[in-house]
Structure 1
Amino acid sequence: MKFTMKCALACTTAMLGTAAAAETMTIGITQNNVGVDSYQTTYEQAFIAAAEANPNVEVVVLDAGGDVARQIAQMEDLIQQEVDAIIIWPTNGEAVIPAVRKAAQADIPVIVTNSNIAEQGFEFVASFSGPDNITQGSRSAEIMCDKFKDMGIESEARVVQISGQPGYTTAIERAKGFEDRLPEVCPDVTLVETQPGDWNREKSQQVMEAFLVKYDDIDGVYAGDDNMGVGALNAAKAAGRDGIIFVGATNFAVGYEAMAAGDYWGSIYQSPVDDAEAALKTAIDTLNGVDLPFLNYFDTPKITQDNMGEFTKPVF
């Protein structure tokens, strides 16, 4: 592993002489799309703050703006800069693999954060740091099923799903976790259709508007995050469709507020601050030769109207 050396000459007294200062790690990060939602904005702020608090770390912070080609170019730029490690929040789990491979071939360890790359690229990655998105989807299915059972409609309920950005690993994994777990816990519940909301509240509202026109009977909505879930909720409110159970993942402040108002049933609690700090720590530990598991998950518990008092309101 390569390290960037920053040596400062310290002049004290003739007796003490001179001494060289310590070495610094330079870590580059290319993010998915900071401006798309408040989670990613908060993540970036927390990442920068954590780096500034560590005198042995310098960071190069980049954002791909959701553009795969831009992210690949950013990876190549970080390789040219000869940073010591690269953290990538992938825009697309498959498309970025060649760039990740190129970094590995340059002996620059790559840490994948938040959303993993496709499995065929694992051999080029030092470690993954983030949530277990399949488990999140599974827990969301359990939240929804439990509520249907409380309502006595578990034998007839119909559900629609609003997934995240197509090709994005988090979206794929959360959908898979939900789709696999729901028939295990509520075998008679029907998932009638899935459409992408691209992590965007306005688009998700439009998707839900189309669902409401198409289906007279919708008992539940599962959204890949609360930003999209609240978009769906807004559509249902505008259409006067009451009684729909809304469940999301990644509890945003708007989701927490909607839960407090009694409009939104449940979600998965995930902190972007924990996410960012874990990614930076994983990169530092890797450079320091710490033996890490390939998958470094942090816990993301269930949150519903029943237990939300145990959780602080998200800052994003």
Structure 2
Amino acid sequence: MTSKFRRVLATGVASACLFAGAAYADTMKIGITQNNVGVDSYQTTYERAFIAAAEANPDVETVVLDAGGDVARQIAQMEDLIQQEVDAIIIWPTNGEAVIPAVRKAHNADIPVIVTNSNIAEQGFDFIKSFSGPDNITQGSRAAEIMCDKFKDMGIDGEAQIVQISGQPGYTTAIERAKGFEDRLPEVCPDVTLVETQPGDWNREKSQRVMEAFLVKYDDIDGVYSGDDNMGVGALNAAKAAGRDGIIFVGATNFAVGYEAMERGEYWGSIYQSPVDDAEAALQTAIDVLNGEDVPFLNYFDTPKITHDNMAEFSKPVF
């Protein structure tokens, strides 16, 4: 996290504490139901950061739940938080459409809902107070620009072929990052061909198997776009094992393993996103909503481009 962001956040938390004392006789009880904490290090780090931020605020009490990637379980957790009469609910959706009825139920119970990290489908927007997280369409768009710029430097932007490894099907982040990439690529590199997309489900091992199949199917692959670096490194491992050199790997959400591969010159670029920023921003958004403050409906934090050329400007991710 940049020092500037830390200063802004610290100021916001301090202000929220002062307002909380006036607005609440007791502590704010904020429940969170997460997507799948154990699936990758981003979500694990997010949970730790969320708990730490809540524990540092004496005016906040939290109920921290994990859906384990199970939509039905997350819906049940939403209903449990409603029954507990929490003051606000933060949800990291397992599926952007399937959770809408549960979100509507919380809204009807006068419990404000904040969506974190990955938004729900647009038809549910009337039932939430704010989305806190990255702009995933912009991330996909920036990843396309990173790949196109590299192809232009290499002189292959008129003929390159690429494959895409997307995230979990039905998951809003996966949908939006793919859309951002697919919409932007023909604008900046109209002659580059995306030959196939397959899901990697945010899993490195599965993504490695997907890439192995791509390598058998296609003799010519110039680039791979993955919805996050965890999947991207899985694809990189498959290419290294097959002896396929010269492939340009671009991801989104720069993991430590992606950063390290970038240092080695094996992985070209990604999008820098901090799970600590993500968690602290979600909690702060919930606090601000409860204090009646004016909160943007789409409360994005910036996620800049990171490549082998500029990576010295960024700290190695902690996840």
Same fold by TM-score greater than 0.5: yes
Alignment of 1:1-316 (within 5 A): 22-316=25-319
Q: Name 1:12's counterpart in structure 2.
A: none
Describe the superposition over 1:53-74 as per-residue Cα deviations: whole angstroms up to 9, x where unpaired. 0000000000000000000000
| In structure 1, C-alpha distance between the alignment counterparts of 2:28 and 2:221, rounded to whole Å | 53
SS in 2 for 1:66: coil
TM-score (norm 2): 0.92
Aligned AA (1:140): A
Aligned AA (2:141): S
SS in 2 for 1:98: helix
Q: Which structure's residues are more often helix, by fraction?
A: 2
SS in 2 for 1:162: strand
| In structure 2, C-alpha distance between the alignment counterparts of 1:292 and 1:236, rounded to whole Å | 45
| In structure 2, C-alpha distance between the alignment counterparts of 1:22 and 1:69, rounded to whole Å | 35
SS in 1 for 2:110: coil
Q: Offset at 1:23?
A: 2.0
| In structure 2, C-alpha distance between the alignment counterparts of 1:113 and 1:256, rounded to whole Å | 24
| In structure 2, C-alpha distance between the alignment counterparts of 1:264 and 1:144, rounded to whole Å | 11
| In structure 1, C-alpha distance between the alignment counterparts of 2:52 and 2:190, rounded to whole Å | 46
| In structure 2, C-alpha distance between the alignment counterparts of 1:293 and 1:223, rounded to whole Å | 29
| In structure 1, C-alpha distance between the alignment counterparts of 2:187 and 2:130, rounded to whole Å | 31
SS in 2 for 1:188: coil
SS in 2 for 1:160: strand
| In structure 1, C-alpha distance between the alignment counterparts of 2:268 and 2:296, rounded to whole Å | 35
| In structure 1, C-alpha distance between the alignment counterparts of 2:87 and 2:280, rounded to whole Å | 18
SS in 1 for 2:253: coil
Q: Offset at 1:291?
A: 1.1
Q: Offset at 1:22?
A: 4.7
Aligned AA (1:260): E
Describe the superposition over 1:75-123 as per-residue Cα deviations: whole angstroms up to 9, x where unpaired. 0000000000000000000000000000000000000000000000000
**Can you give the 5+ residue segments of structure 2 that lack an aligned partner in the other structure?**
1-23
Q: Offset at 1:284?
A: 0.3
Alignment coverage as a number of residue pairs: 296
Aligned AA (2:58): P
| In structure 2, C-alpha distance between the alignment counterparts of 1:204 and 1:240, rounded to whole Å | 17
| In structure 2, C-alpha distance between the alignment counterparts of 1:219 and 1:308, rounded to whole Å | 22
Write out the 4+ residue segments of structure 1 that deviate beyond 2 Å after TM superposition: none
| In structure 2, C-alpha distance between the alignment counterparts of 1:133 and 1:247, rounded to whole Å | 15
| In structure 2, C-alpha distance between the alignment counterparts of 1:174 and 1:180, rounded to whole Å | 10
Q: Offset at 1:293?
A: 1.3
| In structure 2, C-alpha distance between the alignment counterparts of 1:292 and 1:82, rounded to whole Å | 22
Describe the superposition over 1:153-175 as per-residue Cα deviations: whole angstroms up to 9, x where unpaired. 00000000000000000000000
- Higher-Rg member (1/2): 1
| In structure 1, C-alpha distance between the alignment counterparts of 2:136 and 2:63, rounded to whole Å | 27
